[in-house]
Amino acid sequence: MLTHEKATNKEIIVVDNDEHVISILRHILERSGYAVRSAIDGYSMSQFISSKQPPDLVILDSILPKVDGFQLITLIRNQPSWKNTPIVMLTASFSENSAVRAFSLGADDYITKPFRPSELLARLKRLLPED
């Protein structure tokens, strides 16, 4: 069961090509006090990375149109102001190779869909230290 927690003032960007997944994540994260931005494809996220300040955490799908999640990890890790931003891959890919690739590029966690909301929140909380 999800609980309502006080606002955290933490911003999370969700990048997924499925608007339904974005909607579910937005609901879960906002109920837990996070501010949420989203992108539906890798290209728009790559533009955001090159021009904006980083959020507190990024949730990425690996399979995205135009620029995939693995390419986005590399972009994030190569952008000086973003390089320490925690990255969680949230993907339907159960492949061990996919997980190993994500971690080797710099992902901080790897979660497969379908996911358990309480577990997702616990993993995010571990990556988002309180101020």
Are 47 and 24 in contact, with CB atoms under 8 Å apart? no
Say what the pLDDT of residue 129 is. Answer: 79
Per-domain residue ranges for the chain?
Answer: 11-127
**CA 126 from centroid of its chain's CA atoms:** 14
Express each pLDDT in 65-116 by its tens digit. 999 999 999 999 999 999 999 999 999 988 899 999 999 999 999 999 999 9
Fold held by 11-127? Rossmann fold (3.40.50)
* Threshold 0.85, pTM exceeds: yes
Mean pLDDT over residues 6-33, rounded? 92
